[in-house]
Structure 1
Amino acid sequence: MESQRSFLLIGLALVSFLLWDQWQKDYGPQPVQPAATEQTSVEAGNEGVPSSVPMSDDIPASSNEDVPGVTPEAKPNAARMIHVLTDTLDLQIDLVGGDVIKANLVKFPLTQESTETYSLLRPTDGLYVAQSGLIGRDGPDANRSGRPRYDAEQQEFVMQGDTLSVPLTWQNADGVAVTKTYNFTKGSHDIALTYTIANNSSQTTTFQQYAQLKQTTQVPDGGNMFMPTYRGAAYGTDEDRYEKYPFDDIEDKNLKVSTAGGWVSMLEHYFVSAWVPPQSQTNNLYSKLVQNQYAIIGFTGTPVNVNAGDTVTVGSELYLGPKDQDTLEGLANGLDLTVDYGILWWLSKPLFALLQFLHSLVGNWGVAIILITVVVKGAMYPLTKKQYESMARMRNLAPKMQQLKDRFGDDRQKMSQAMMELYRKEKVNPMGGCLPIILQMPIFLALYWVLLESVELRHADFFLWITDLSVKDPYFVLPVLTGASMWLLQKLQPTTVTDPMQQKIMQFMPVAMSVFFLWFPAGLVLYWLVSNIITLVQAKLIYAAMEKKGLKSK
């Protein structure tokens, strides 16, 4: 029993350390670099951008007056804005550059029961926009005089059927025409962007697609020590499927990677914006910090030559929406890993799949959490049984262990040899009570990240006062009940510890865990409470069977 409690303490310390360590990495204070170093990194920042991108303060060939939200003069006026509304997205597109500067997620309210929808992209109140265009020798965005001004047939586009296309047109004096088209599909947060380039000039022209996400680095992350959520950039390559690239890293060193396929993104708790270039081509991923306050991550594609009289089409994908694993997995290799389960992703993914399946049967995420707890605890019952039986045998050996101590005194070598011989003779494994605890800790952590990261649990109702399983219990009923269940488990599993300090620590554990759980998502606390209740029932059954075998359980 003492070994079980020791490992429980170790497990609690491990969980606490991992949460604290992750919080420090993502949100803790960062070391301040000397002024000279900061100046050097800013000045040297341009070398991280692919050479095909002109070295300006912002996007290729742009001036600050064309960048939304940078200066008062830059705020787009109504004449250059078009509005797009589908069943999933409410967008604003700036005709100067053809950028998506505002995106609200129609099916995701800002807060529970709110009429206001969640704003993913925005030109003001914390700049966050999706920019794109054509650079290269003849690209309209490579013009130093400013970004291209596109034309649109109308200012309002509303989806009426299953698809919607929003074409923007531009033409230069030489007869080169570009149609930049955003294509929407009903029920989807994925936008297909295409450029149709018609070369009506007398010579070959060269273009290169680029796209990037730009966001202020001053936006609060919204997480806390008990719910550490990442806010920043991320990318994927053919070698590294998923890599975080925090704003601090962008400030220190620009990204410069050439890869087959790949993707770039900006992440927040439940939502993601991502550019996915053509996966069959080689693309260059880059990042940049502008004006010491705006982080950019983007890609440039393979240069395209368009012969005189020819028409060529290039394109990419823009995803603006929730971290839906199935959808993201279909867009690009590793994009689904933006649902960040950490090092235990290999365990969290099947657990989430099981949770999804159970939800499809019952239609309630709280009930699904209860069912997955029953399944997990049921699967681990044989190990749990061995754990309790092993601890009972260890307790029954206590008198003989005391005899060995009295016999060998301080001779540790002989004492150790005698103990091993006693364990062998009595067929007792001293580590038999530890294995189930060691196995349960990864499952607990994996489920923690599933319940923390899965957007499906955002605003998910359970019953009565628990209307959102992704946030803490508003009345702290579940944490209190969890603490009470731990206290009952402690009483059911008496210890022979005689040291007063250790006894106080053990008695304080249920209170300490209850305090921890005050800030945990209600779904996670529900899992832990149900797990404790099942453990109580299993312990009663195991003890009863042990008594019948003549093996003392206490």
Structure 2
Amino acid sequence: MNQTRTFLIFALLALAYLLWTDWEKDYGPQPAPVAAATTAPSADGSVPASSGSTAAIPASGGSEQAGQLITVSTDVLRLTIDTRGGSVVRSELLNYPAEPRTRNNPNPAPARLLDDAPEHFFAAQSGLVSTHGNAPDHRALFQAAQTSYALADGENQLKVDLTWTGADGLKVTKTYTVNRGSYVVDMDQRVDNGGSAAWQGNAYQQLQRVAPATTKSWFQSFSDPSSHSFFGAGWYSPQDKFDSLGFTDFQKKPLDRAVTGGWIEMLQHYFFVAWIPKPDEAATFSTSVINPNTAAPLYLIRAVGPALNVAPGQSATSTARMYIGPKLQGTLDAVAPGLELSTNYGWLTVIAQPLHWLLSKLHAIVGNWGLAIIALVLLIKAALWKLTATQFRSGAKMRKLQPRVNALRERYGDDKVKMQQAMMELYKKEKVNPMTGCLPVLVTMPIFFGLYRVIMESVELRQAPFFGWVHDLSAPDPWFVLPVLYVLVMLATQWLTPTAAGMDPAQAKMMKVMPILFGVMFFFFPSGLVLYWVTNGLVSLGQQWLITRQVDQADLKAKTS
């Protein structure tokens, strides 16, 4: 099997994989109509917090009149907190531009994750509920001392207090703490009971958002890397590890589970927001859909903590942390166990994570992600050198047998059974194994798919430049230079190996056209992945030329000796 046929196996499998994922999104099973479930909103618009005596938590989100907006800025984050509920309603990632920097737009706006715009609504909310007595939920109106907070030069930490006072003497102080260089936000809810009766309640944290718009055409979805990424909710427990729930599955598979030492999150391409409850306290994780029959339903994931009991004159504090930022691998497990799995590689995780680790190490050496991809190809080719050398030697020997194979075809005509038997006898006599060419495919195929997921999902490669015209390795080549180079490499490979032994002439003609067809398909692939294939093809072409020359020289020497 020559190099072109080897690639075609890859390309066909890749195309089938992409088509299957897109078909699933557009035509896969759709959610059933909402049934009466424990997580469905009740008649008064509330959702049960959990299956115990915990008070119902209001299910409204985004519909209340906003309070005062407070801006909190660090060196990496700019947060907007609404005093209505003390919710984080907007977050801007200052080190991640929403659009690539260009000559016409040298300072693009930062990427926004949490967002209070109705069409992109995404909020991180928290509050308290009580079965009896007052409690400030995520609709309560808090007070703040000022409208703008910023981490000053020389300071490493900033605290922002919001206060709420009830008529019965209950006072709640919600404190957000941000740190320099960190995407982790600490959040405390301190309850001071100034009344005459004991207070009992529960603290909760939740994420609400609308699903991203799906108005793109199939062609736009195919060429947009974010269309192949997972959007939805995720959670982690030490027992069951990571699990996720796409927006279309919220109604079919509602979550209701008690977890100690876990976390909840909302995921999207490159970025995510997670609530991380106190690790030694049990919390109830649940999901629900708010206003499911409207054009823009809200999808909610929530964590409800254990009961807080506060005697008169006493206080109690509920703590949680929030991560608002990029999927930076190698750092997230230090924030919370299992948070590294937020980079959702799916069933390719076991392959993609080591590839990302290796790419990161290579990037630390060469300083460029494109060069790191080239270095990765060289390492893979070096590791598989003997295996691919065996493939090319077998291909060279089979090519020399082509005249004898053609003679067998003429002898047996349309009798394919006898033709195959005669070919197998010929290969056995000449000690040629036609299956040798499949071995490199079986070894490198998982690498191809794993690298595809790494390039598509790794935020480090987002807007990462290579050289010259390639400004974003996660996006298609804007000038199609790499796809054209790939076509030239594969045509050169075909010239070196014009026809595989035993191939039907009609198939041979099709093989000559396929590199061009798949080169066109590469117009829409991430340029980093095409760079991988161009480099792989060039190295394979050089190796094939070298081994073919060695085989020819060995045959010539045998004839002259």
| TM-score bracket for the superposition, by shorter chain length | 0.7 to 0.9
- The superposition leaves residues 351-399 of structure 1 with CA deviations (integer Å, 9 ceiling, x where unpaired) of 1111111211222222222222222222221111111122334445567
> For the structure 1 residues 515 and 453, does the alpha-carbon distance in structure 2 shift closer, same or farther, using more than 3 Å as the test?
same
Question: Matched residues, percent identical?
Answer: 36
Among 153, 158, 161, the residue aligned to 1:164: 158
Match of 1:268 in 2: 268
In structure 2, C-alpha distance between the alignment counterparts of 1:115 and 1:379, rounded to whole Å: 42
User: Partner of 2:512 in structure 1?
Assistant: 507
Residue in 1 that maps onto 2:545: 540
The amino acid across from 2:331 in the alignment is: T
Which of 355, 368, 386 is residue 372 of structure 2 equivalent to? 368
Distance 1:151 1:415, change over 3 A: closer
Please say if 1:40 is aligned against 2:35. yes
How far apart are 1:403 and its partner, in Å? 8.5
> Aligned equivalents of 1:268 and 1:336: distance in 2?
14
Check 1:317–1:53 CA distance in 2 against 1; reply closer, same or farther (3 A cut).
farther
State yes or no: 1:105 paired with 2:100. no
Cα distance, 1:550 vs. partner? 2.5
Aligned to 1:198, which of 192, 201, 205?
A: 192
Give the one of 454, 458, 463 matched to 1:454. Answer: 458
TM-score (norm 1): 0.87
State TM-score, norm by structure 2. 0.86
Unpaired stretches in structure 1, ≥5 consecutive residues:
none
The equivalent position to 2:470 in structure 1, one of 463, 466, 469, is: 466
Q: CA deviation at 1:330?
A: 2.2
- How far apart are residue 61 of structure 1 and its match? 3.5
Give me the whole-angstrom Cα distance separating, in 1, the residues matched to 2:412 and 2:27. 56
Q: Which residue of 2 aligns with 1:298?
A: 302
Q: What does residue 224 of structure 1 align with? A: 221
Aligned letter for 1:81? L
Q: Per-residue deviation at 1:408? A: 13
| Higher alpha-carbon deviation: 301-310 or 112-121 | 301-310
Q: Does 1:153 align with 2:153?
A: no
Distance 2:73 2:53 in 1: 32
For residue 464 of structure 1, give the secondary structure of its aligned residue in structure 2.
coil
User: In the alignment, is the contact (CA less than 8 A) between 1:287 and 1:297 conserved in 2?
Assistant: yes
Match of 2:259 in 1: 259
Given the alignment of the two structures, is residue 247 of structure 1 paired with residue 250 of structure 2, yes or no?
Answer: no
State whether structure 2 residue 9 is matched by structure 1 residue 10. yes
Contact 1:97 1:141 in 2 (8 A): no
1:118 equivalent in alignment to 2:111: yes
Give distance in 1, aligned partners of 2:478 and 2:369.
Answer: 18
In 2 relative to 1, CA 522–102 (structure 1 residues): closer, same or farther, beyond 3 Å? same
Q: Secondary structure at the match of 1:432?
A: helix
**1:189 CA drift (Å):** 0.9
Unaligned runs of 5+ in 2: 42-46, 102-106
Shift of 1:322: 0.9
Distance 1:389 1:32, change over 3 A: closer
- Deviation for aligned residue 1:147: 3.1
What secondary structure does 1:230 align onto? coil
SS across alignment from 1:387: helix
Q: 1:463 to 1:404 in 2, by over 3 A?
A: closer
- 1:111 Cα deviation from its structure 2 partner: 0.8
Does 2:342 match 1:338?
yes
Give the 3-state SS of the residue equivalent to 1:154 in structure 2: coil
Deviations 1:182-227 (A, max 9, x none): 1111111111111222334444432322111111135349772253
- Post-superposition CA distance 1:233-270 (Å, at most 9, x none): 22222344232311111133422122222222212211
The equivalent position to 2:69 in structure 1, one of 81, 95, 106, is: 81
Q: Does the aligned pair in 2 maintain the 1:48–1:255 contact within 8 Å?
A: no
- Between 1:479-488 and 1:237-246, the stretch displaced more is 237-246
- What's the secondary structure of 2:85's corresponding residue? coil
1:14 counterpart letter in structure 2: L
CA distance in 2, matches of 1:232, 1:53: 29
How many pairs are equivalent? Answer: 532
Distance 2:55 2:120 in 1: 24
Q: How far apart, CA to CA, are the structure 2 residues paired with 1:452 and 1:485?
A: 24
Q: Pick from 314, 318, 321: which aligns with 2:322?
A: 318
Q: Trace 1:276-425 onto structure 2 (pairs within 5 A).
A: 276-292=276-292, 293-396=297-400
Q: Is the 8 A contact 1:61 1:141 kept in 2?
A: no
> Any idea what SS the aligned residue of 2:177 has?
strand
1:53/1:135 contact within 8 Å kept: no
Tell me: CA distance 1:480–1:409, structure 2 relative to 1, closer, same or farther (3 Å). closer
Contact 1:41/1:252 (<8 A) preserved: no
What is the CA distance between 1:15 and its match in structure 2? 1.1
When residues 44 and 138 of structure 1 are mapped into structure 2, their CA distance, relative to the original with a 3 A threshold, is: closer
Deviation at 1:501, TM superposition (A): 2.2
- Matched to 1:121, the amino acid is L
Measure the CA separation in 2 of the matches of 1:140 and 1:535: 72
1:182 is matched with which residue: 171, 176, 191?
Answer: 176
1:472-512 C-alpha deviation (Å, 9 max, x unpaired): 11111111111111111111122145634212210111111
Verify: 1:437 aligned to 2:441, yes or no. yes
Inter-partner Cα distance in structure 2 for 1:361 and 1:457: 16
The alignment status of 1:478 with 2:476, answered yes or no, reads no
What is the CA–CA distance in structure 2 between the aligned matches of 1:44 and 1:370, rounded to whole Å?
50
Instruction: Judge conservation of contact 2:285–2:301 (CA < 8 Å) in 1.
Output: yes
Deviations 1:522-544 (A, max 9, x none): 11111111111111111122223
SS in 1 for 2:222: coil
How far residue 178 of structure 1 moved from its aligned partner, in angstroms, is 2.1
Residue 210 in 1 paired to residue 201 in 2?
no
User: For residues 110 and 50 of structure 1, what CA distance do their matches in structure 2 show?
Assistant: 38
Measured against aligned partners, the alpha-carbon deviations of 1:279-328 in whole angstroms (never above 9, x if no partner) come to 22322111111112111112112223234444332211111111112232
* Corresponding position: 1:90 with 2:78: yes
Per the TM alignment, residue 157 of structure 1 is displaced from its structure 2 partner at its CA by: 0.9
What is the identity, as a one-letter code, of the residue corresponding to 2:539? I
Per-residue CA deviations over 1:99-143 (Å, capped at 9, x if unaligned) read 101111111111112431111111113211111112243685577
